[in-house]
């Protein structure tokens, strides 16, 4: 199967965004930068695309102009091993961005992310409908996901 590479459209900040993302994720790097030539449509010498890899997953940032912007119709999901990892990515990606709800955030470039701990789906999908409902209700009250809080809510011990 051919490799699928998400392309992320920026106005002019593609290189800055790629540099930021590779600073946040381990085993990441910028692999290529392509510049506009005399043919345009961007200014000659300015950055057209930036190819980068985030822990094995390739991406391309395109400086295509202001015509298109990010919205919540697409987001990047980070499955975190534990709460410390959730806290790390949440803190890094909300710096200059905004917290949204239920583990969603927008980074300073407007890209939406979901930062969730492994185990969240298990507690939200608990076979006991009452436990599941309590956990889902607790999740809707959270911005950053707190797995211990979800479990406490499922158990009915959240206070």
Q: For the segment 50-83, what is each residue's pLDDT rounded down to a tens digit?
A: 999 999 999 999 999 999 999 999 999 999 999 9
Q: Are the beta carbons of 112 and 74 closer than 8 angstroms?
A: yes
* Chain CA centroid to CA 91, Å: 12
Across the strands, what pairs with 114?
A: 77, 104
Q: For the segment 116-133, what is each residue's pLDDT rounded down to a tens digit?
A: 999 999 999 999 999 999
Question: CATH number of 70-159: 3.40.50.1580, 3.20.20.70, 3.10.180.10, 3.40.50.1370?
Answer: 3.10.180.10
Write down the domain spans for the chain: 1-67, 70-159
Q: Is the pLDDT of residue 42 over 90?
A: no
The DSSP element (H or E) to which 29 belongs, if any, is strand 29-35
The DSSP element (H or E) to which 136 belongs, if any, is helix 129-140
For the segment 87-109, the average pLDDT, to the nearest whole number, is 98
Q: Which CATH architecture has domain 1-67?
A: 2-Layer Sandwich (3.30)
Distance CA 13, CA 28 (A): 18
Q: Are the beta carbons of 134 and 154 closer than 8 angstroms?
A: yes
């Amino acid at each position: 199967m051919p490799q699928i590479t998400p392309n992320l459209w920026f106005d002019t900040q593609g290189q800055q965004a790629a540099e930021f993302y590779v600073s946040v994720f381990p085993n990441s790097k910028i692999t290529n930068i392509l510049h506009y030539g005399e043919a345009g449509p961007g200014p000659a010498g300015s950055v057209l695309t930036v190819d980068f890899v985030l822990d094995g997953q390739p991406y391309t940032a395109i400086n295509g102009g202001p015509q298109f912007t990010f919205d919540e119709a697409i987001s990047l999901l980070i499955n975190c091993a534990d709460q410390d990892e959730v806290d790390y990515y949440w803190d890094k990606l909300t710096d200059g961005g905004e917290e949204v709800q239920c583990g969603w955030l927008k980074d300073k470039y407007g890209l939406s992310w979901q930062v969730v701990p492994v185990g969240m789906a298990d507690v939200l999908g608990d076979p006991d409908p009452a436990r599941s409902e309590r956990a889902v209700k607790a999740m809707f009250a959270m911005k950053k996901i707190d797995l211990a809080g979800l479990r406490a809510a499922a158990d009915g011990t959240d206070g």
